[in-house]
Amino acid sequence: MSAQLNILSQCSIRNGCVYKNGNKVFEAPQEPNPPAFLAAVYRELRLDYRKFFKMDNLSKLAFLASEVLLDGWIDRDVPHQDIAVILFNRSASLDIDAIYRQTIQDKDKFFPSPSEFVYTLPNIMTGEIAIRNKIFGETACFISEQMNVADLYLKVSDVMDDTVRQCLCGWVEYFGNHYAAELLLVEK
Amino acid sequence: MIVIAGDSIVSALGFTADDNYLSVKSGASGVKRYEGLYGVPEPFMASLINQEALDAKFAALNPPHGEEYSPLERTAILSASDAILQAGVNAAHPRTVFIFSSTKGNIEYLDANISDERLYLWRSAQRIASFFGNANTPVVVSNACISGAYALLTARREILSGRYDCAVVTGADRLSKFIVSGFQSFKALSGKICKPFDAARDGLNLGEAAATIVLQRRQEATKGDILLEDGAVRNDANHISGPSRTGEGLYLALSRIMRGRDSADIAFVNAHGTATPYNDEMESIALHRAGLDAVPVNGLKACFGHTLGAAGVLESIISARALQEGVILPTQGFEQSGTTCPLAVTCAILPTEKSYFIKILSGFGGCNAALLFKKA
């Protein structure tokens, strides 16, 4: 079943740095806290995408990594039915879950804004990437204890049937002070 | 071919697939009104598992001494145990994989400590697989409300790839203050038993359940076996919480599984049918666009509530049992058509000679799933 997959593009975001295809393309001047770092990456990329500011940190991280990854590879003006988005992480949406849980301790805020609750699912980050890039293909989120490249390769190969040309895939983890994104764009 | 070798449901309506199927056929609903539960300030309707009965049945499995299992894990293990027993498979075999689907796992432990290891979905999955002596790393799917269907699709692929011969697919979610608050913040909950596809529908009911399907590779199917023939997932690329006005992702998923197939062969579509105004409307549009508007449609949310990560597995089991028996189940709560594109929503038990059914689900993040099952 599993076809040979070619890597078209790569993006890593970790330890205050952004890498594209192995080259460092941005480094935070000092060691900022993770949300401030994500905001700095957004500014560095000169993006104008208001939805970014509504996202939780996990989605922000996935979104920024996908912007770097797809730069030059996708036409955002046309729909893409043949691209899939398959992401993995360790902590699901626990980062925003903890914030949501804190909010509803306060009796007056027991029914917070629905836009807060919606992020308490890890696959929302795949939806954000799909919306931004008009990707209508398969989107999914798997949870695993640690990143396992061999397992990722098998899962992505399984997804890539004759209706799928490219797959945006990889690992996006954000919980407390720890974050890491390792994304690949692959083609059969 | 990939066959349903065993199944089980633990819900408000019973502790086996038989119990649950017969309850649905008799017109029962597990949805009740709860007041003051979990510290939720307003009363709400939900379908909840009888905890005492669950604990007694779990104790009868002789769980290992010194191990603490969460309510979610107990529910999942109980359903997996029953399905494995029925299937007669060796759950510990190296060519058997466990696949676990949940949206919120043990989220209630967040109240005590955010670094509690029990909060991790992969940890619950490992504990479930270990209970049955399975040493393979379990696969964990968390894809909002389509999780259960995605777990079944993933299981199909794991078996087709040749890596495994058998997959134990368990979907499970338990209700908590966290989940009830979230759906209430969306104003998505109905104050009555929900009414899928009805003109007067005004929201969903939440439910808790664990459901397990054991899928197995077979060279030949026995007459009456239910096969998981195909499946597809597609995104709306439209909104993270609002259903698409054109039903785009669901339409595309349906088109993918109907490729080269005739809608006249489909006995029924078991819809997501959450009974929120927008979801059911979106499903009606997608089914029309996919040329499936003449096919009978039913929904089970008035029986079980929306069981989140379990829904795809649970509703596939009930539908598979109906197809096996040659019947189409009614849609409890439905009286009068209430979607722009009219659908053939069922009101009574109908006979069918046809051999396929479709299960559809849609979820936050814009994801939509369609599964195709066939009776051998």
What integer pLDDT is reported at residue B112 of this predicted model? 81
Strand partners, B250: none
Average pLDDT estimate for B169-197: 96
Q: Is 50 exceeded by the pLDDT of residue B35? A: yes
Higher pLDDT, B295 or A4: B295
Q: Which of B246, B336, B221, B349 is nearest to B296 (CA)?
A: B349
Confidence band (pLDDT; 50, 70, 90) for A29?
confident
What integer pLDDT is reported at residue B113 of this predicted model? 83
Q: Are B172 and B79 in contact (CB under 8 A)?
A: yes
C-alpha gyration radius of chain A: 17
Distance of CA B215 to the CA centre of its chain: 15
What integer pLDDT is reported at residue B221 of this predicted model? 94
Other C-beta atoms lying within 10 Å of the C-beta of residue B53? 12
Q: Are A112 and B182 in contact (CB under 8 A)?
A: no
Question: In degrees rounded to 5, what are phi and psi of residue A61?
Answer: -65, -45
Q: Which of residues 300-359 of B touch A (CB under 8 A)?
A: none
Could you tell me the residue range of the domain that residue B284 belongs to? Answer: 230-375
Query: SS3 for B102-139, per residue?
Result: CCCCCHHHHHCCCCCHHHCHHHHHHHHHHHCCCCCCCE
Tell me: the pLDDT tens digits for B256-300?
Answer: 999 999 999 999 999 999 999 999 999 999 999 999 999 999 999
Domain contains B224: no
Residues B189 and B253 in one domain: no
Residues B188 and B243 in one domain: no
What integer pLDDT is reported at residue B66 of this predicted model? 87
Does A86 reach chain B within 8 Å, measured CB to CB?
A: no
Q: Which of B83, B333, B367 is nearest to B197 (CA)?
A: B333
Q: What is the largest CA-CA distance in chain A?
A: 55
Domain contains B162: yes
Domain contains B222: no
Q: Alpha-carbon distance A102 to A104, whole Å? A: 6
Q: Is 60 exceeded by the pLDDT of residue A1? A: no
Question: In degrees rounded to 5, what are phi and psi of residue A31?
Answer: -85, 90
What integer pLDDT is reported at residue A112 of this predicted model? 80
Residues B239 and B136 in one domain: no
Q: What is the DSSP letter of B145?
A: G
What integer pLDDT is reported at residue B165 of this predicted model? 98
Q: Alpha-carbon distance A126 to A170, whole Å? A: 11
Domain contains B197: yes
CB contact under 8 A, A92 and B105: yes
CA atoms within 13 A on the CB side of A13: 29
Q: Alpha-carbon distance B48 to B107, whole Å? A: 17
Share of chain B above pLDDT 70, in %: 100
- Specify the CATH number for A6-187; select among 1.20.210.10, 3.40.50.20, 3.40.50.2300, 3.40.47.10: 3.40.47.10
Q: Is 80 exceeded by the pLDDT of residue A31? A: no
Of B107-121, B144-158, B165-179, least confident by mean pLDDT is B107-121
Domain contains B148: yes
* DSSP reduced 3-state for B356: strand
Query: SS3 for A73-84, per residue?
Result: CCCCCCCECCEE
Domain contains B223: no
Q: Alpha-carbon distance A94 to A56, whole Å? A: 11
Structure-token pair, residue B293: 């508007």
CB contact under 8 A, A91 and B367: no
Tell me: the pLDDT tens digits for B112-140?
Answer: 888 899 999 999 999 999 999 999 999 99
Cα–Cα distances (Å) from B227 to A129, B1, B375, in that order, read 34, 7, 6
Q: Which of residues 37-56 of B touch A (CB under 8 A)?
A: 40-41
Q: What ipTM goes with this model?
A: 0.97
Using the 3D structure, point to which of B196, B217, B238 is the last residue of a domain.
B217
Q: What's the domain count of chain B?
A: 2
Q: Which of residues 217-246 of B touch A (CB under 8 A)?
A: 232-241
Cα–Cα distances (Å) from A186 to A9, A147, A158, B256, B373, in that order, read 7, 17, 13, 22, 31
Helix B17-25 and helix B311-325, axial crossing angle in degrees, nearest 10 = 70
Q: At B320, which CATH number?
A: 3.40.47.10
Q: Is 80 exceeded by the pLDDT of residue A3? A: no
Does B140 reach chain A within 8 Å, measured CB to CB?
A: yes
Q: Are A63 and A125 in contact (CB under 8 A)?
A: yes
Q: Which residue is closest to B235 within chain A, CA to CA?
A: A136
CB contact under 8 A, B110 and A101: yes
Residues B186 and B234 in one domain: no
Tell me: the pLDDT tens digits for B235-264?
Answer: 999 999 999 999 999 999 999 999 999 999
Structure-token pair, residue B179: 């989940």
Q: Alpha-carbon distance A144 to B140, whole Å? A: 7
Encoded amino acid at B161, one letter: S
Q: Alpha-carbon distance B283 to A25, whole Å? A: 44
Residues B206 and B242 in one domain: no
What integer pLDDT is reported at residue B111 of this predicted model? 84
What integer pLDDT is reported at residue A110 of this predicted model? 78
* Average pLDDT score over chain A: 94
* Average pLDDT score over chain B: 97
Report the phi/psi class of residue B13: left, alpha or beta, with left for phi > 0 and alpha for psi in -120 to 50.
Answer: alpha
Residues B137 and B267 in one domain: no
Picking from A85, A97, A134, the nearest residue to B107 by CB comes out as: A97
Using the 3D structure, point to which of B174, B193, B217 is the last residue of a domain.
B217
Q: Alpha-carbon distance A19 to B375, whole Å? A: 51
Q: Alpha-carbon distance B83 to B354, whole Å? A: 26
Residues B132 and B252 in one domain: no
Domain boundaries, chain A: 6-187
Tell me: the pLDDT tens digits for A57-101?
Answer: 999 999 999 999 999 999 999 999 999 999 999 999 999 999 999
Confidence band (pLDDT; 50, 70, 90) for A109?
confident
Tell me: the pLDDT tens digits for B352-366?
Answer: 999 999 999 999 999
Min Cα–Cα distance to chain B from A120, Å: 9
- H or E stretch covering B54: helix B51-59
Residues B186 and B311 in one domain: no
Q: Which of A143, A147, A156, A163 to mutate to test the interface with B (most CBs of B within 10 A)?
A: A143
Q: Alpha-carbon distance B162 to B160, whole Å? A: 5
Q: What is the pTM of this model?
A: 0.98
Min Cα–Cα distance to chain B from A38, Å: 21
Confidence band (pLDDT; 50, 70, 90) for A118?
very high
Using the 3D structure, point to which of B157, B183, B217 is the last residue of a domain.
B217
Q: Is 70 exceeded by the pLDDT of residue B1? A: yes
Cβ neighbours for B150, distance < 8 A, ≥ 6 positions apart? A140, B101, B141, B143, B233, B312, B367, B369
Structure-token pair, residue B375: 């009776």
Domain contains B300: yes
Min Cα–Cα distance to chain B from A101, Å: 7
Residues B279 and B370 in one domain: yes
